[in-house]
Amino acid sequence: MNTVRIGVVVLMLIAAGRGTSAQQARLCEVVRRSGPLPAEIRETSGLALGRLNPHAFWTHNDGNSPRLFAIDRDGRLIGSVAIRGANMIDFEDLEAGACDAGSCLYGADTGDNFSARRTITIFEIPEPRLGETKQVTARALPAAYPDGSHDAEALFRAPNGDLYIVTKGRNKPIRLYRYAAPYRYGQAVRLQYVRDIAPMPEDQRDRVSAATITPDGRWVAILTYRTLLFYRTHDLLEGRAVTPLRFDFSELGHPQAEAVVVGADGSVWLTTESEKKSTPAWSQLHCTLPRN
């Protein structure tokens, strides 16, 4: 079978059982178990690999701070950029993609612990140029769910530009919603319900904390606090029955895994925010996913 080396990390999600150790070994291997991240990003919540800056990762803190941080592959801080025009409430995830400006980051202001928000916002942020840009101006894509409020920390962007939000599963099932391209900047849009992915998790460690799509668009990676799940993109988006490939990364010892990104070379990076006196952490995997 033709395979493509693909990096991955973290999650759980559905009520199926966990894979065996042998299955996990075939899917992923740990390259870097854990390394510290700078104190400036103690609450790292989203992660995206730069397109203009291919050796830099962009991340941000959880909460209402409109600022991006750049780190290198060793987790060292190499840049910080303010985001103008983004009145953040709860900034939870980050994705990279092509846009009119060439390369953009899509920031998910979608956190809602108490299910009280009537609208959420995805911000389109031109990717900064390291060493040149001190601030960037974002454009807002406000949206509302068709069935009431949801807490969500996971965003991915399909190759056609459609944006997808995966809910956390805090008090409801884990669900998938679509913001269909073309974008309507500044105009409130009703999201499209796509499907239920899984029932509400019985264990809070199986709540969804991040998502991303592989560079070839074939797989969607969904992250929980202890498991990484891979779904075939076409099956997931078309509402077909799917059984994800899964990798349990509990051995990494991450207290709260919050972000994941998959590289074209088969690497996967994972960040975890600090808890109490712990430090934010940075890990790397390599995974092998079927090509067809």
Strands 139-144 and 189-190: parallel
Residue 173's pLDDT is what? 98
Cα distance between residue 227 and residue 140, in whole Å: 31
Rounded Cα distance, 237 and 231, in Å? 10
Phi-psi region of 63 (alpha: psi -120 to 50; beta: other; left: phi over 0): left
Q: For position 277, what pLDDT does the model report?
A: 66
Lowest mean pLDDT among 13-22, 51-60, 215-224: 13-22
Q: Give which of 87, 159, 94 is closest to 119, Cα–Cα.
A: 87
What is the distance between the alpha carbons of residues 220 and 102, in angstroms, rounded to a whole number? 23
Q: For the chain, give the mean pLDDT.
A: 90
Q: What is the mean pLDDT of residues 77-84?
A: 96
Residue 1 pLDDT: 39
Euclidean distance between CA atoms 254 and 229, whole angstroms? 16
Whether residue 7 is predicted with pLDDT greater than 60 in this model: the reply is no
Question: How much is the pTM?
Answer: 0.91
pLDDT on residue 151 = 98
3-state secondary structure of 20: coil
What value does the mean pLDDT take over residues 162-169?
A: 98
Read off the pLDDT of each residue in 219-240 and give the average, rounded to a whole number: 97
Please state, as a whole number, how many other Cβ atoms lie within 10 Å of the Cβ of residue 148.
9
CA nearest neighbour of 66 among 54, 84, 39: 84
Locus of tokens 């805090």: 170
Classify domain 3-290 at the CATH class level. mainly beta
Contact of 109 with 117, CB cutoff 8 Å: no
Q: Is residue 18 scored above 50 in pLDDT? A: no
21 Cβ partners below 8 Å, 6+ apart?
A: none
Q: Give the pLDDT band (50/70/90) at residue 15.
A: very low
